[in-house]
Amino acid sequence: MSTAAHETSLGLDHRKVAIWAFLGSEFLFFGAFISSFLLYQNDVNEGPGVELFDIPFTSVSSFVLLMSSVTMVLAHSAHVRGDMRRMRLWVLATAFQGMVFIGGQVFEFTTFVKEGMAFTTSPFSSAFFALTGFHGAHVTVGILMLLSLAGLTKLDRVKPDQHIKTEMIGLYWHFVDIIWIIIFTVVYLIPAG
């Protein structure tokens, strides 16, 4: 039962108001993790610290994640046009780029652990893995939503006129991207600079 926009007090669909509210709350969630990281970024306990970061490698996977916002926009606009084939294609492309990013993170995490920086090595490592790990979990949830969306359009459970669903997943996806820009800058780039 989609609520037509003109029936609501704000003229917006309920789901859109709700997703904006939820994403507002997510900013505080990552804000608290980023603050904790800033507090601990030098507390390495004689373990390895920021020198482990491979900036070129992470830049590439960050670039892939940022580009996935472009395909997400394309997916949404295809859905608005009712072009479900193209929409599915762009959704899957977005999910694929998300998976590349997660693959990069898995590779990065294993490398760090091999080089002596595990979750419990130091306050720095704990704060780093908690922050980037929770971001990775958010991306993973986003990938699950994208794959489900693609599957549901195939089964005709998400109809061409229900582009608000794509829009909402898109808003979530863009949020995850924006947060990554902040995390990448604060965690990787500033200490390296």
Partner 1 sequence: MASSSVAPSGSVFRRPLATKGWGSWLTTVDHKKIGKMYGFTAFAFFLIGGLEAVFIRLQLAEADASVLSAEVYNQFFTMHGITMIFLVVMPMAAAFFNFLIPLQIGARDVAFPRLNAFSYWAFLFGGLFLYSSFIFGGAPNGGWFGYAPLSTSTSGLNMAYYGVGLQILGISSLAASVNFITTILNMRAPGLTMMRLPVFIWMSLVVNFLLLFAMPVIAVALFQLTFDKVFFTSFFQAATGGDPVLWQHLFWLFGHPEVYILILPAMGMVSEILPVFSRKPLFGYAAVVFAGAAIGFMGWGVWAHHMFAVGLGPVANSAFALSTMFIAVPTGIKIFNWVFTMWGGKIRFTTPMLFAIGFVAMFTIGGLSGVMHAIVPHDAQQTDTYFVVAHFHYVLFGGALFGIMGGMYFWWPKLFGKMLDERLGKIHFWLWFVGFNLAFGPMHIAGLLGQPRRTYVYGEELGSSVERWNQVSTLGSLIIVVSVVVFIWNAWKTYRSDEIAPHDPWDARTLEWLTPTPVPEHNFDVIPTVTHRDEFWHRKYAEDDAGRAVPVPAGASEDHAAEHGEHEEHIHMPDPSYWPLVLSAGLPFIGYGVIYKSIIWAVIGLVLLLTGVYGWQLEPVAEGDE
Tokens of 72: 């997400």
Query: How far apart are CB 116 and partner 1 at their closest, in Å?
Result: 15
Residue of 99, 130, 178, 182 that binds partner 1 (CB under 8 A):
130
Q: Report how far residue 125's alpha carbon sits from residue 119's, in angstroms, rounded to the nearest whole number.
A: 6
Q: Assess 147 for contact with partner 1 (CB under 8 A).
A: no
Q: Assess 140 for contact with partner 1 (CB under 8 A).
A: no
Q: Assess 127 for contact with partner 1 (CB under 8 A).
A: yes
Query: How far apart are CB 56 and partner 1 at their closest, in Å?
Result: 29
- Tell the residue number behind the tokens 């970061």, with chain if given: 53
* Region binding partner 1 by CB under 8 A among candidate stretches 6-14, 60-68, 85-93, 172-180: 6-14
Q: Assess 126 for contact with partner 1 (CB under 8 A).
A: yes
Q: Assess 41 for contact with partner 1 (CB under 8 A).
A: no
Tell me which residues touch partner 1 (CB under 8 A): 1, 8-10, 12, 14, 17-18, 21-22, 24-26, 28-29, 31-33, 36, 39-40, 43, 45, 119-120, 122-123, 126-127, 130, 134, 148, 152, 157
